[in-house]
Amino acid sequence: MKLTSKWIAWFVMVSLYAAAVGGLFYYNMFKFVFDRKLQNEMVEMVRFRAPLLVSALASRPLSDATFREAELMKEWKRTDDRIKSLVYLNANLSVRWHENTQFFQMSYEDYLNEVGMDSNVVEQVRRTGAPQAVMFDEGNYYDMAIPLLDKNSTVAGIINLTVSRESAKALIRQSMVRYCIGVLIMILLIGGVLYLFLLLKIIRPLENLKDSIDAISLNHLSLTYPARGDEIGDVATSISSLLAKIKEDIKSLENVEIMSLEKEQRWWKTILAVTVPRGSRALVIDEDNNILYTNFEMNIKKEGPIHLLDIFDGRQQNIIQVVGEAMEHPGKVLRGNVTSNDIKFVVKAVQLPDDAGKNRIVLVLEPDKSLQ
């Protein structure tokens, strides 16, 4: 897999993980904030109405709600669709007002037996004197109890509300949608910037380095790559250093080979001077039929190695045949005839035993005495 594909895969996985963790955190934060906002709004509505209600409770502490109180309760429940039920209790928890008049002045115990409560928030408010809220029905509603305190901070009455959480849940959903859109935009922006950095600073320099390496050959043993101050530049510098060492080693090997060839030529000069009769011509050729040494001067001007056919043209089939047979039968002396410069020669050819991977064939051309 390419570096780009791996980077994209890892970036997507890390981004999704971070988004999921952040989503969990923000969901709980939104839930806390909007639920607290809903509760505070209910408490503020009670406090707004508290002066009238406390005054009525002080004048008639254990009776039914006055006409003004009843109208206030009806109007409140009618105008706020979040309130699903509302019970107005006296200090002794008897029902002061209920939308069903049959519960007026009913004791708390009888009301519990008749209707029931969704939680025990009323008892908690009576003990603590502070607003209480409990979620029920799988998080769809709050059972809230809000105290009405007199001048002595004594609970003079309690408002018991069943409040729908739909508005808070809608706000949470909207906030999560905005969060997801924001996260997506951030991922695209950050991912685009990081990918652009990856493309310009890593991928393309690596591709250029690859092209420069592909362009290296034995004829051009150097790296053409602009200098960089980063890790890719360090790699290019190391490759250039390696190529320089290889070039030096090749040059050393060439020098060794030249010296070895010169030494071999001196060796052949000595051997052939002793073994080849005067007037005969001798040639030493390699496995590619390139001439390594002769005991006579060749008037051939050519760059690079001189081939056997440069001396004997393609019409001299006899010598080609003799050399071929010598290569097929190492160590065996083979004979043939050849004409060079209108002079006929007897050709002797033998392939010497392999010496460290070097195949050498010795050709001796003796004048044909039968024609003298």
Confidence of residue 271 (pLDDT cuts 50, 70, 90): confident
Between 1 and 108, residue with greater pLDDT: 108
- pLDDT greater than 80 at residue 273: no
CB atoms within 10 A of CB 189: 10
Nearest CA to 175 out of 326, 59, 30, 338 is that of 30
Q: What is the CATH number of domain 258-371?
A: 3.30.450.20
Nearest CA to 316 out of 298, 296, 343, 291 is that of 343
Between 37 and 247, residue with greater pLDDT: 37
**155 in Cβ contact with 128 (< 8 Å):** no
Q: Which residues share a beta bridge with 149?
A: 155
Q: Where in the chain is the domain with CATH 3.30.450.20?
A: 3-173, 258-371
- State the architecture of 3-173 in CATH terms: 2-Layer Sandwich (3.30)
- pLDDT greater than 90 at residue 4: no
Cα separation, 89 vs 93, whole angstroms: 5
Confidence of residue 361 (pLDDT cuts 50, 70, 90): confident
Cα separation, 342 vs 44, whole angstroms: 131
Question: What's the pLDDT at 249?
Answer: 82
Express each pLDDT in 181-209 by its tens digit: 999 999 999 999 988 988 888 888 888 88
Greatest distance between any 2 Cα atoms in the chain: 164
CB atoms within 10 A of CB 221: 13
Q: Average pLDDT in the 221-236 region?
A: 85
Express each pLDDT in 282-293 by its tens digit: 878 877 878 877
Nearest CA to 116 out of 92, 146, 85, 139 is that of 85
Tokens of 217: 């050959």
DSSP secondary structure string, 144-180?
Answer: EEEEEE-TTS-EEEEEEEEEE-HHHHHHHHHHHHHHH
The whole model's pTM is what? 0.58
CB atoms within 10 A of CB 90: 23
Cα separation, 57 vs 150, whole angstroms: 9
- pLDDT greater than 80 at residue 212: yes
- pLDDT greater than 60 at residue 163: yes
Least confident among 47-61, 132-146, 223-237, 282-296: 282-296
Size of the chain, expressed as the number of residues it contains? 372
Average pLDDT score over the chain: 85
Cα separation, 106 vs 88, whole angstroms: 11
Express each pLDDT in 314-357 by its tens digit: 556 677 777 777 787 887 887 877 776 666 778 788 888 775 56
Cα 193 to chain centroid, rounded: 14
The structure tokens 């959480």 sit at 165
In a 13 Å sphere around the CA of 223, the CA atoms on its Cβ side amount to: 23
Confidence of residue 280 (pLDDT cuts 50, 70, 90): confident
* Type of residue numbered 349: A
Q: Average pLDDT in the 126-135 region?
A: 92
Tokens of 366: 């003796």
Between 366 and 42, residue with greater pLDDT: 42
Phi, psi of 98, rounded to the nearest 5 degrees: -150, 150
Question: What's the pLDDT at 250?
Answer: 80
Q: Average pLDDT in the 234-245 region?
A: 88
Confidence of residue 156 (pLDDT cuts 50, 70, 90): very high
Confidence of residue 371 (pLDDT cuts 50, 70, 90): low
Burial of 283 (0-12, 13-18, 19+ CB in 10 A): buried
The DSSP letter of residue 314 is T
